[in-house]
C-alpha cells in the first residue's frame, strides 16, 4: 500500500509473525554476512495486507502443476470422461475433509476461518457453475476434462477480474484453487509437501497461496508471506491477519527476482519487499521491527481502556468483518461492536440463493458471539454479474455502475424480504442494525423501509416473535449523489455510515484496482473531504448517528480530522482498533475542530497531507 502525507493506510500496528523468548521473531540473518554478496539489493512494491516486519530467507512455493494437455474425446468415450471428472471431484472433496481436520488445530480464529473456506470449496465441488460448466463442456465440445477445467476456470476468472470490488475480485482465488485441485486429481498429482517442513524464519514466496496451502504451514516457523497475485480481501490477506504474519501481495516481477535461500525483508506496513538487503537496510528494518514490537505491546494494554478523548468525549470504535470466523479477532481487539457485516459471503460460491433460515442462523451466531455489542448488517452488495444465473438477470456492461446493491434488491424485493426477515429473527438475540448499500435517492430508502414494514407486518400477522426495538434502517453514503443529498436522506434514514473507499472512487472517477490510475486514488482530495463534511453535518442536524467505515477510519493519522468533523463512531479492520484508540485518547475536541477547519480550507491533497502529518493534538 502506498503511504505518505496524502495516503491512508500508514503504519497500523498489529500482531507480528513469530514471537520468541525475547518477544521478537526469529531472524536467520543475525550474522555478519547480512544480506549475501551474490545479488544486488532490489526493492519491489506491492499491497500491504499483514502489517509488521519479517526478516528471513526465501522459500519458493510452487503450485506443483505441470502443463495441461488438450485433446478431443471420441464420441463413444464422452461418458467415461465425464465419470473421470466426477471421480476427480469426489477425490478433491475427500482431500478437503482431511484438511478440515488439520485446520481445526490452528490457533485463534485462523482455524475457524479456514474451516469456513474449505466448506465453501466443498460446496463448489458439488455443483457450482465451474463444475457444471466443465461437465457441459466435456459433453458439448468433446474436450478432455483437464482442458475443460482450464477453459472454464479462465472464463470465470475473466468475469471476476473485471469487477471493481476488492472482495468480489478476490473470489478469483477460490476459482483457481478449486480448478487446480480438480486438475491435480485428474492427473493424480500430489500436492507439494514442503510447507509442512519449513526452516524457522522462512518467508514463503509464491504466485499465490490457497487456504489449503495455509492449512499445511506452521505459523511459528514462518517469517512472512509474499505473493505475486492477490488482493486486500484475498484469502492470503485474511489469513495473514488472522495468523499475525506480515504479508505483501500483488508484487509485480516477484518470481523473476526471488531466489530460494536469499535474504528477504517483508515490510507489511508499507507494502515493500526487499530482496538481498544490504547491511544498512537490514539494520534499519531490525530497528523498525523492534519499535513495532514495543508499540504492539503498549497497544495491547489498551484493549479494555475506554475510547475517550482527553476532554472526556467518547468515540465508539467498531470492526468491519468479511466472514463470521473473524468475530474472535474483533473481541480480542476490544471493539465495541461490529460496524459492518458484509453479507455477500452468504451468496458466494453457490448456484442457489441462501434461505431465510440459513441467513438467520449465521446472523444469530454473530450477534450471540458479540454478547450485547451492536452488530450492523449490510444488505446484499452484489450485482447481476454474479447472481445473474440465480435471478435470470443479464449482466450489464459496467457492473460497478449497473444493477447492484440496493438497486438490485429493490428490483428483486424477495431478496430484500428474505434478508430483512433473517435480521429480524437474529435481532432477538441482541442489538442489530440494517444498512442499505449504494443508496442514491430518498425514494430508494422509502421503498426499502416499505419492504421492512411489510415484513414486520407479516411477522405480526403470523404470530412470529419480533425484536424490541425493530432494528434501525441506515444508509451507506458512498456515492456523491448520496453525500450531496444527505440532508434529505437524513430525514428518511435512522443512521448514516460513510463508506470512504467507494465515495473516493466515485467522486474522483478512478478505479482503485486499475494499476494505470490507482496512484490518482486520493482520499484526502478536498472534494472527498467536503463530501464527508456535508454528510456528517446533515446527520448532526437531523440528530441521527453517523459513522465512517472505510479505510480512512482505520488510519490513526486521520482520527483527529474525522473527530473534528463531528464523527463519533469509526468502523475498521479489527487489527487497526488499538492504534486508533491510542490516537483518540491523545486528542481534545477544540484542537481537533481547529485542525478540521484548517484542513477544509486547503486547496489540494499535498497541503492537507502536510497539515495531517504535523498535527499537534494538544
Catalytic status, residue 116: no
How confident is the model at residue 201, as a pLDDT?
87
Name, in order, each residue with C-beta under 8 angstroms of 152's C-beta and a sequence gap of 6 or more: 130, 133, 134, 137, 179
- Asked if the model's pLDDT at residue 466 lies above 50, the reply is yes
- Asked if the model's pLDDT at residue 392 lies above 70, the reply is no
Band of residue 107 on the pLDDT scale cut at 50, 70, 90: low
How confident is the model at residue 313, as a pLDDT?
97
How confident is the model at residue 221, as a pLDDT?
86
- Asked if the model's pLDDT at residue 199 lies above 80, the reply is yes
Q: Fold match between 75-186 and 313-613?
A: no
How confident is the model at residue 33, as a pLDDT?
37
Provide DSSP, 498-549.
E-HHHHHHHHHT--TT-TTTGGG--TT-HHHHHHHHHHHHHHHHHT--EEE-
Name, in order, each residue with C-beta under 8 angstroms of 141's C-beta and a sequence gap of 6 or more: 148
- Asked if the model's pLDDT at residue 232 lies above 80, the reply is no
CA distances from 480 to 167, 406, 411, 449, 569 (A): 22, 16, 22, 22, 21
Q: Do the Cβ atoms of 435 and 377 come closer than 8 Å? A: yes
The answer to whether the annotation marks 342 as part of a ligand binding site is yes
Supply 598's cell numbers: 484548517
- Asked if the model's pLDDT at residue 405 lies above 50, the reply is yes
Element (H, E) at 133: helix 129-141
How confident is the model at residue 160, as a pLDDT?
64
The answer to whether the annotation marks 501 as part of a ligand binding site is yes
Catalytic residue (one of 316, 440, 525, 549): 549
The answer to whether the annotation marks 512 as part of a ligand binding site is yes
Look at domain 1-63+191-280 and name its CATH class: alpha beta
Name, in order, each residue with C-beta under 8 angstroms of 79's C-beta and a sequence gap of 6 or more: none
Mean pLDDT of 570-595: 94
Tell me: domain 75-186, CATH 3.40.50.11540, correct? no
- Asked if the model's pLDDT at residue 567 lies above 80, the reply is yes
The answer to whether the annotation marks 378 as part of a ligand binding site is yes
The answer to whether the annotation marks 320 as part of a ligand binding site is no
Distance (Å, whole) CA 27 – CA 316: 38
For the chain, give every domain's residue range.
Answer: 1-63+191-280, 75-186, 313-613
Closest CA to 172 of 187, 159, 191: 159
Mean pLDDT of 576-604: 95
Provide DSSP, 56-85.
EEEEEE---PPPPP--BPPGGGHHHHHHHH
Catalytic residue (one of 26, 61, 235, 525): 235
- Asked if the model's pLDDT at residue 390 lies above 90, the reply is no
Place of cell 502536510: 610
Strands (E), 389-532: 432-436, 473-477, 495-498
How confident is the model at residue 16, as a pLDDT?
30
**pLDDT tens-digit profile of 419-456?**
999 999 999 999 999 999 999 999 999 999 999 999 99
Q: Do the Cβ atoms of 328 and 108 come closer than 8 Å? A: yes
The dotted CATH code for 313-613 is 3.20.20.60
Residue 149 CB-density burial (10 A; 0-12 exposed, 13-18 middle, 19+ buried) = buried
Amino acid at each position: 500500500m502506498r503511504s505518505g502525507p496524502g495516503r491512508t493506510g500508514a503504519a497500523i500496528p498489529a500482531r507480528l509473525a513469530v514471537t520468541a523468548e525475547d518477544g521478537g521473531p526469529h531472524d536467520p540473518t543475525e550474522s555478519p554476512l547480512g544480506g549475501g554478496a551474490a545479488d544486488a539489493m532490489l526493492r519491489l512494491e506491492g499491497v500491504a495486507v499483514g502489517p509488521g516486519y519479517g526478516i528471513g530467507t526465501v522459500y519458493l512455493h510452487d503450485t506443483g502443476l505441470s502443463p495441461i494437455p488438450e485433446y478431443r474425446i471420441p464420441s463413444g468415450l464422452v461418458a467415461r470422461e465425464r465419470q473421470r471428472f466426477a471421480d476427480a471431484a469426489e477425490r478433491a472433496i475427500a482431500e478437503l475433509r482431511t484438511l478440515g481436520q488439520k485446520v481445526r488445530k490452528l490457533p485463534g480464529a485462523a482455524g475457524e476461518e479456514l474451516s469456513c473456506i474449505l466448506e465453501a470449496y466443498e460446496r463448489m465441488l458439488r455443483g457450482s457453475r465451474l463444475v457444471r460448466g466443465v461437465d457441459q463442456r466435456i459433453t458439448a465440445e468433446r474436450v478432455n476434462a483437464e482442458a475443460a477445467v482450464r477453459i472454464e476456470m479462465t472464463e470465470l476468472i475473466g468475469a471476476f477480474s473485471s469487477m471493481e470490488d476488492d472482495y468480489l475480485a478476490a473470489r478469483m482465488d477460490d476459482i483457481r484453487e478449486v480448478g487446480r485441485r480438480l486438475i491435480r486429481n485428474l492427473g493424480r498429482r500430489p500436492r507439494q509437501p514442503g510447507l509442512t517442513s519449513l526452516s524457522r524464519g522462512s518467508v514463503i514466496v509464491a504466485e499465490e497461496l490457497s487456504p489449503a496451502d495455509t492449512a499445511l504451514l506452521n505459523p511459528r516457523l514462518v517469517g512472512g508471506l509474499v505473493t505475486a497475485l492477490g488482493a486486500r480481501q484475498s484469502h492470503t490477506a485474511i489469513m495473514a491477519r488472522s495468523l499475525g504474519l506480515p504479508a505483501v501481495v500483488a508484487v509485480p516481477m516477484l518470481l523473476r527476482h526471488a531466489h530460494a535461500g536469499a535474504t528477504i525483508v517483508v515490510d507489511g506496513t508499507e507494502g515493500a519487499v526487499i530482496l538481498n538487503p544490504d547491511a544498512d537496510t537490514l539494520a534499519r528494518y531490525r530497528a523498525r521491527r523492534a519499535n513495532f514490537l514495543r508499540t504492539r505491546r503498549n497497544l495491547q494494554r489498551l484493549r479494555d481502556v475506554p475510547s475517550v478523548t482527553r476532554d472526556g468525549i467518547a468515540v465508539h470504535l467498531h470492526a468491519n468483518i468479511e466472514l463470521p470466523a473473524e468475530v474472535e479477532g474483533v473481541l480480542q481487539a476490544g471493539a465495541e461492536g461490529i460496524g459492518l457485516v458484509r453479507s455477500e459471503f452468504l451468496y458466494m460460491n453457490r448456484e442457489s440463493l441462501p434461505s431465510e433460515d440459513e441467513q438467520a442462523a449465521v446472523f444469530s451466531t454473530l450477534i450471540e458471539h458479540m454478547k450485547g455489542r451492536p452488530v450492523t448488517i449490510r444488505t446484499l452488495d452484489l450485482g447481476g454479474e454474479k447472481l445473474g444465473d440465480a435471478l435470470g438477470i443479464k449482466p450489464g456492461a459496467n457492473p460497478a455502475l449497473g444493477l447492484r446493491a440496493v438497486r438490485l434488491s429493490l428490483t428483486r424485493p424477495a431478496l430484500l424480504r428474505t434478508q430483512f426477515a433473517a435480521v429480524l429473527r437474529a435481532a432477538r438475540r441482541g442489538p442489530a442494525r440494517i444498512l442499505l448499500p449504494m443508496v442514491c435517492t430518498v425514494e430508494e430508502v422509502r421503498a426499502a423501509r416499505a419492504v421492512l414494514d411489510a415484513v414486520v407486518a407479516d411477522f405480526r400477522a403470523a404470530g412470529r416473535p419480533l425484536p424490541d426495538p425493530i432494528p434501525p434502517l441506515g444508509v451507506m453514503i458512498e456515492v456523491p449523489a448520496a453525500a450531496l443529498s444527505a440532508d434529505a436522506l437524513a430525514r428518511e434514514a435512522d443512521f448514516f455510515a460513510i463508506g470512504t473507499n467507494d465515495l473516493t472512487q466515485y467522486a474522483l472517477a478512478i478505479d482503485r484496482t486499475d494499476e494505470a490510475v490507482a496512484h490518482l486514488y486520493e482520499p484526502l482530495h478536498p472534494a472527498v473531504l467536503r463530501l464527508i463534511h456535508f454528510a456528517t453535518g446533515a446527520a448532526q442536524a437531523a440528530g441521527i448517528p453517523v459513522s465512517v467505515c472505510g479505510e480512512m477510519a482505520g488510519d490513526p493519522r486521520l482520527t483527529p480530522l474525522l473527530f473534528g468533523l463531528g464523527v463519533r463512531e469509526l468502523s475498521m479492520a479489527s487489527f487497526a482498533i488499538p492504534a486508533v484508540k491510542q490516537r483518540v485518547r491523545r486528542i481534545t475536541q477544540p484542537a481537533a475542530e481547529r485542525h478540521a477547519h484548517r484542513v477544509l480550507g486547503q486547496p489540494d491533497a499535498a497541503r492537507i497531507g502536510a497539515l495531517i502529518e504535523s498535527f499537534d493534538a494538544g
